[in-house]
Amino acid sequence: MTFQWTAVATFLYCEIAVILVLCLPFISPLRWQKIFTIPLWSKIAVFWNKMFLTIIVLLIVLFLDAIREVRKYSAVQVNEKAANVNTNVFDHIQINLYLSGFSLFLWLVLRRTVTLLTQLAKGMASHAALESQVNDATEAAKKYMAENEKLQEALNEKGSSKKKDSAEATDEKLKKEVEHLKAELQKTSNSLHKANNEVTAVKKQSEGLRREYDHLMKEYERLQ
């Protein structure tokens, strides 16, 4: 193999290794998000889009060149001079086609995987924050309800009408606060449900990408 295609093969193996690491089940998307927020990655992210487009263009050029070479040698093989054609050369050209094609495909899959991991991590973080808000609102509502019950018991023990009026006003205020907290709790619950739906949608999208990847791999194997 020439240096050019050796570099493409090395790049392909690196892509496979990175995708396998990203798909490890015991590393959560939240941990990947922490890794992506390291200052070093933040500096690289500035040039990520330019680097991605540059590599895409380079891989497309190599893929088209490999297709051209395959067609060229296929035409030579059916010619009268087919006996003079080195079959090893044709095999190497086909390997170059597979290398460039799979490199291009895995580069797109790698970018999509990183995007889905980032979206899933954001959804999980929002989900955890909403759960914390719901728990805090629930605890506050329980606290106010306990204070309300204590005030009602104190009101039953005291017979003074003046104190009763003051206690009723306090009780009414507490009731309004409890109603407000219930409304906030309902609002937070709706937000939590929405976040769950978004996380579910991201998971379904990730599953669809995995099925599409498996389908394309089968198509490549069938074409090979």
- pLDDT at res. 83: 45
Backbone torsion region of residue 85, taken as left when φ is above 0, otherwise alpha when ψ lies between -120 and 50, otherwise beta: beta
158-190 pLDDT, tens digit each: 655 555 566 667 778 888 888 888 888 888 878
Which has more confidence, 43 or 105?
A: 105
The residues near 116 (Cβ < 8 Å, ≥ 6 apart) are: 202, 205, 206, 209
- pLDDT at res. 90: 62
DSSP three-state, residue 47? coil
- pLDDT at res. 78: 53
Residue 162 to residues 5, 65, 148, 154, 210: CA-CA distances in angstroms? 93, 95, 18, 13, 71
16-41 pLDDT, tens digit each: 888 888 888 887 877 777 777 777 66
